[in-house]
Amino acid sequence: MSIDTEKTYEIQSVLEIKSSTFFVPVLVLYTNDLVVIEQRLLQKISQAPDFFRNSPIVFDLHELNHNNDEIDVVKLVELIRKMGLFPIGIRGGNEFQNEQANSIFIPIDNTQSIAAEIPKTSVSTSQTIVKEVVVNNAATLITQPVRSGQRIYVSGDLIILAQVSAGAEIMAEGNIHVYNTLRGRALAGVQGNTNARIFCFDLQAELISIAGDYKTSEDLKETVEKKPVQIYLQNHALIIKELV
């Protein structure tokens, strides 16, 4: 009898299924030309190889199907894998494309296409979660340093009073304010808000991005460190301006 109870105990501690939210970049396609897709993808990746290396990715075919542009999902998945990315979902596919995806074990993501997506409630993701205080519905305040390996994702604005280390990643669907040194990656407007801005006291970032357009530390070399700046988007170009 005692053996029986021991067994039950063991079974209980074998596994657990928990629900969790995480952040994955979405590849939105506007052309079905695989050659052009490969070229552009290579270009994007070469600008931020660390950011994309082994990154999971969901591809979104909503625009293509909207325009009746056909694409072979099996070939597309092969191409994405060749780029060193891990396709983990299809979004906006038609019946045939979804079937194709199923046959090669790519899950179907039924959330709406990115353009139509409704902002989610504040979530912070990844293996290390940073303690956060929700100021109101729209902003999240972080007072502790964001260290290397930590990631933050919020649906509204993100306000950080401490430093953001190299190797840390902060993401907001809205604006990002860092009242300290920004050394990690900062991505504002991650759901496509091109009006989002990044503000920081000392820009030494590895990568900054607004609504998917980004610059890496390579491109930032000539900008002045140790001066408060704002970063915004103008005609798909990131503008970095000193705050006076």
Partner 1 sequence: MARIIVVTSGKGGVGKTTTSAAIAMGLAKRGHKTVVIDFDVGLRNLDLIMGCERRVVYDFINVINGEANLNQALIRDKHCNSLFILPASQTRDKDALTLEGVEKVLEELSKDFKYIVCDSPAGIEKGAHLAMYFADDAFVVTNPEVSSVRDSDRMLGIMASKSRRAELGMEPIKEYLLLTRYDPDRVEAGEMLSLEDVQEILSLHLLGIIPESKAVLNASNSGTPVILDEKSDAGQAYADVVARYLGEKRPHRFIDSKKGFLRKLFGGK
Task: Give Cα 49 distance to the centre of its chain.
Answer: 14
**226 makes contact with partner 1 (CB under 8 A):** no
Return the number of other C-beta atoms located less than 10 Å from residue 240's C-beta.
17
Report the site for partner 1 in 59-118 (rule: CB under 8 A).
none
In the sheet that holds 185-188, the strands lie side by side as 151-154, 169-172, 185-188, 207-210, 213-216
In whole angstroms, the minimum distance from the beta carbon of 204 to partner 1 comes to 10
Find the shortest distance in angstroms from Cβ 150 to partner 1. 4
Q: Does 130 bind partner 1 (CB under 8 A)?
A: yes
Q: What are phi and psi of 181, to 5 degrees?
A: -80, 135
128 is an interface residue for partner 1 by CB under 8 A: yes
Sole window of 14-22, 83-91, 123-131, 171-179 interacting with partner 1 (rule: CB under 8 A): 123-131
Q: 60 and 88 in contact (C-beta within 8 Å)? A: no
Of residues 150-179, those binding partner 1 (CB under 8 A): 150, 163, 165-168
From candidates 41, 76, 77, 146, binder to partner 1 by CB under 8 A: 146
Q: Which residue's structure tokens are 């729209």?
A: 138
Q: Least distance from C-beta 163 to partner 1, angstroms?
A: 6
CA distance 145 to 124: 15
Number of residues located near partner 1, criterion CB under 8 A: 18
Our CB check for partner 1 shows the closer of 83 and 159 to be 159
Q: Cα separations (Å) of 206 from 51, 180, 183, 201, 202?
A: 10, 15, 6, 15, 12
Contacting residues toward partner 1, per CB under 8 A: 128-131, 144-150, 163, 165-168, 181, 183
